[in-house]
Chain A
Amino acid sequence: DVVLTQTPPTLSATIGQSVSISCRSSQSLLHSNGNTYLHWLLQRPGQSPQLLIYSVSRLESGVPNRFSGSGSGTDFTLKISGVEAEDLGVYYCVQGTHAPPTFGGGTKLELK
């Protein structure tokens, strides 16, 4: 199975600070059809995960544009440009290129 390694495991930030989370894959996530199925989820405390970004860089409807995704192949990054209080929680990357789908270990974003 594809292993997704997220760093850092914990991130402390102040409101307004910009932060980045890395997700590294054990295999290239470029599908033979030319798409890259790497997505980002946020799980707020006590809630279900929600989709933030799909296919590396596409913002899900309703998600603020302070969130952005980038990367290719095996290295991907989620950036938050100006953290707000509602952004706190655990971020997961997930890949759907190779079966079975797998998730990263998560990055917990907390207030400094």
Chain B
Amino acid sequence: QVKLLQSGAALVKPGDSVKMSCKASGYTFTDYIIHWVKQSHGKSLEWIGYINPYSGGTNYNEKFKSKATLTVDKSSSTAYMEFSRLTSEDSAIYYCARVLDYWGQGVMVTVSS
């Protein structure tokens, strides 16, 4: 069955970067767009951007354009998101989602000195 397995929780310092992964299985990776979504503690969801695994083409929310970089490795059916210049506002759970029908389990990122 379709699964999206995300990397583990991360504790990072302000100003650092974090790179998280989303490994897809159970379907043809290049057939579906992968979205990334942010959920701050106890709050709603924010769309960060998406990547087309087939072409590598990306589309970002303007709010995250200078913050997030989306990539894929087709050979391992894995999508990546790198988040840079982290601040406390970036502490959140980050989800990958295949279109919107299947979601990863989320990565909790904590930014603290």
Pick the interface stretch among A17-25, A64-72, A80-88, A103-111.
A103-111
A100 touches B100 (CB 8 A): no
Pick the interface stretch among B69-77, B82-90, B101-109.
B101-109
Asked whether any CB of chain B lies closer than 8 Å to the CB of A14, the reply is: no
B105 touches A94 (CB 8 A): no
Asked whether any CB of chain B lies closer than 8 Å to the CB of A48, the reply is: yes
Report the Cα distance A20→B61, complex, angstroms: 31
- Count of chain B residues with a beta carbon within 8 Å of a chain A beta carbon: 17
**Shortest Cβ distance from A43 into chain B, in angstroms?**
8
B105 touches A103 (CB 8 A): no
Report the Cα distance A51→B37, complex, angstroms: 14
Report the Cα distance A104→B44, complex, angstroms: 7
Report the Cα distance A100→B68, complex, angstroms: 15
The verdict on A103 contacting B103 (CB below 8 Å), with A48-B95, A49-B95 known, is no
The verdict on A100 contacting B62 (CB below 8 Å), with A49-B95, A51-B100 known, is yes
Q: Mark B22-49, 1 if CB is under 8 A from A, else 0.
A: 0000000000000100000000111100
A49 touches B45 (CB 8 A): yes
Q: Which residues of B contact A99 (CB under 8 A)?
A: 59
Report the Cα distance A102→B102, complex, angstroms: 17
Asked whether any CB of chain B lies closer than 8 Å to the CB of A30, the reply is: no
Asked whether any CB of chain B lies closer than 8 Å to the CB of A101, the reply is: yes
Q: Which residues of A contact B61 (CB under 8 A)?
A: 100
B46 touches A48 (CB 8 A): no
Report the Cα distance A24→B87, complex, angstroms: 33
A106 touches B44 (CB 8 A): yes
Report the Cα distance A60→B2, complex, angstroms: 14
Residues facing B in A33-63 (CB within 8 A) are 39, 41, 48-51, 54, 60
**Shortest Cβ distance from B37 into chain A, in angstroms?**
8
Closest B residue by C-beta to A106? B44
Choose from B47, B62, B103 the contact partner of A101 (Cβ within 8 Å).
Answer: B47
Closest B residue by C-beta to A4? B44
**Which 7 interchain pairs have the tightest Cβ spacing?**
A48-B103, A103-B45, A100-B61, A101-B47, A51-B101, A105-B44, A106-B44
